Chains A and B, each alone.
Chain A
Amino acid sequence: MKFVQNIFDQTRPLVEKDGKRNILYPLHNAIETMAFVPDHTAHSGAHVRDAIDLKRTMVTVIFAMVPALLFGMWNIGRLHFGAFGEESTLLDNVIFGAMKLLPLIIVTYAAGLGVEIYFSWKRNHPVNEGFLVSGLLIPMIMPVDIPLWMVAISTIFAVLIGKEVFGGTGMNLLNPALTARAFAFFAYPTWMSGDKVWINTTSAEGGQLVDGYSGATALGDLATTVGQGMGNPATETVMAQFGPEGTYSLMNAFLGLIPGSIGETSAALILLGGLFLVFKGVGSWRIMVSFFIGGFVMAGIFNAFAVNEFMGINPLHQLMLGGFMFGMVFMATDPVSASQTATGKLIYGFLAGFFGIMIRVFNPAYPEGIMLAILFMNVMAPLIDHYVVEANVKRRTKRLANA
């Protein structure tokens, strides 16, 4: 490892402030800090020492995402071969999934880091790790069959308008990964919803799709039942899928054996990642728990009235479908765009989950209500914090006056 260190040491004078190649400084710095622990030390004042820096936080989140990502990879292959009624081994599925997923990840990182590096270079500050997590989150919340250039454009939009406009990592108002998804959803709705994009059905051997194949997601199917009236035969067939024996049964939804965006299907593995985040102290348990309660309360209210089949779904089952769990663990907990105060986090999480289910059920055209709800609450988070802080100030002033 010494010789790598030597390379960095030797090239450093070239890129430093008055060196010949100082234009390359951000690049040099980025690669160096990725390879080694930075040797910068504070020169004045007292500093709290903590092992958790930005890089370690980001890497912890990446670790938490890996199980869901690997599962998503396997699921791509499983659904693809399943659509043709073919037998496939675990290895077939993973290899097929990797071939679909890796280009998405590479394109996202290339597009996002391109914008980030350009801005660091323009603003003359080192490239930081801000995009590391977003770059992996974006492919996980995209359908498998979305054209790569759409992902690239969405990513560029998210990094540019969602983040760099506000001043870069740590200054953004909105969650960049969700901004990318929202952009793709409104810009290219045909590739972000419907029944053509969730399962890859391009077959080299000209295979035939199995009878009764439906490429829709559980929520997409559910949305078709709204307005049909209860007890209608078409509705009954859809609802049968949600029974204990159906494709979208509670167990399947929990394990993730259903179609959906790549990384969002497996509630079990997402929860595992969530536990890891909470255990490491990186993710906020307040947001996760209150988010879950918020969604559960809303789903419970709908379930109590149950005027259509969509509302009639068991609350717990409702939460396992779509992006709810993924949004809860990886999106709402984004430390930058969420509320900062402890009480604020509880309010923020509760309302995000509450509105998420509400948008999903009230407007079946937006099955991904969770995305819109979290973005909305991102915007509201500073307001929540403001009132929490104000309330605290008021309480303490009163205490002082009474003392």
Chain B
Amino acid sequence: MSTEVKTKESLFSKKNQQLLKDPFNDNNPITVQVLGICSALAITVKLEPAIVMSLSVMFVLAAGNVIISLIRNLIPNRIRIIVQLVVVASLVILVDQFLKAFAYDVSKQLSVFVGLIITNCIIMGRFEAFALGNGPWKAFLDGIGNSIGYGVILIAVAFVRELLGSGQLLGAQIIPLSWYIDMDKGTGFYANNGFFLFPPMALIVVGMIIWAQRAKNTKLIEEN
């Protein structure tokens, strides 16, 4: 007769910490898995919407992961995608209503992109790949970890784009107005780079982040 030894894992064991840390660098959802690119291009013109977007995704992903993980043994396999969609959609509606009530301006700026969180590949990807096979606590950590990995890149891109594209950060003028070239008066020496306001530049910025990350973290480079 063997007695089953049940080892209780501590809440922040090495493994669980890894769940939080991994998506930050080695398994970053945007720069390594290249998911969620659409929103990284669309809402990173200014810093504020990017921050709000990151927080919204964090809420939806963490809460959604926990819910899916709790009911993972009840979901019939054949209709799991629909169930996942229902969960995401309800959470996104919550976020949307919340933003409309408490941050109306940002909600207007984000426009359809709040609703499009539903289609954010990261969320369905984590549900499928992680929450369906793991307990709620782990799923929660995974959700937080992935949304931080997503948010960091989003905020970094938005930081560069807002600073160089409009000379502002969070709507406050950073580059002194007296620096700007005034063609009629012939003063100043600086001009905003309008290219940073276009989505293609976001793609290039993300690409450069990937480049820098791979140069530092050589194990990401595939062998071919």
Contacts and interface: CB of A to CB of B under 8 A. Distances in A.
Nearest to A191: B191
B189 A189 contact: no
A190 B183 contact: yes
B193 interface: yes
A122 to B, nearest CB: 10
B195 A187 contact: yes
Contacts of B194: 186-189
A196 interface: yes
22 contacts: A147-B189, A147-B191, A150-B191, A153-B193, A161-B204, A165-B207, A165-B211, A183-B195, A186-B194, A186-B195, A186-B198, A187-B195, A187-B196, A188-B191, A188-B193, A188-B194, A189-B194, A190-B183, A190-B191, A191-B191, A196-B183, A202-B186
Contacts of B181: 147
Q: Which has the most chain B C-beta neighbours within 10 Å: A153, A165, A186, A187?
A: A187
Contact of B193 (A165, A187, A202): A187
A115 B99 CA distance: 46
A186 B191 CA distance: 13
Interface in A339-384: none
Contacts of B193: 153, 187-188
Contacts of B198: 186
A262 B181 CA distance: 22
Interface in B170-224: 181, 183, 186, 189, 191, 193-196, 198, 204, 207, 211
Nearest to A160: B208
Contacts of A202: 186
Interface in A185-228: 186-191, 196, 202
Q: Which has the most chain A C-beta neighbours within 10 Å: B183, B196, B207?
A: B183
Nearest to A149: B189
Interface of A: 147, 149-150, 153, 161, 165, 183, 186-191, 196, 202
A153 B186 CA distance: 21
Contacts of B189: 147, 149
Nearest to B194: A187
Given A186-B198, A191-B191, A202-B186, 12 more contacts: A147-B181, A147-B189, A150-B191, A165-B211, A183-B195, A186-B195, A187-B194, A187-B195, A187-B196, A188-B191, A189-B194, A190-B191
A117 B134 CA distance: 52
A63 B191 CA distance: 35
A60 B207 CA distance: 36
Contacts of A196: 183
A56 B204 CA distance: 34
Nearest to A187: B195
Nearest to A183: B195
Nearest to B204: A161
Nearest to A161: B204
Contacts of A186: 194-195, 198
A196 B181 CA distance: 13
B202 to A, nearest CB: 13
A345 B207 CA distance: 31
B185 to A, nearest CB: 13
The 3 closest A-B pairs by CB, nearest first: A187-B195, A186-B195, A187-B193
A165 B215 CA distance: 13
Nearest to B195: A187
A33 to B, nearest CB: 29
Nearest to A150: B191
Nearest to A197: B183
A124 B27 CA distance: 31
Contacts of A153: 193
Contacts of A150: 191
A187 B204 CA distance: 14
Nearest to A186: B195
B175 to A, nearest CB: 14
A296 to B, nearest CB: 31
B211 to A, nearest CB: 8
A365 to B, nearest CB: 13
Contacts of B186: 202
A123 to B, nearest CB: 13
A226 B58 CA distance: 49
Nearest to B208: A161
Nearest to B200: A186
A142 to B, nearest CB: 15
Contacts of A190: 183, 191
A52 B204 CA distance: 36
A188 B189 CA distance: 13
A128 B189 CA distance: 34
B200 to A, nearest CB: 8
B177 to A, nearest CB: 16
A186 to B, nearest CB: 4
Nearest to A196: B183
A186 B194 CA distance: 6
Contacts of B211: 165
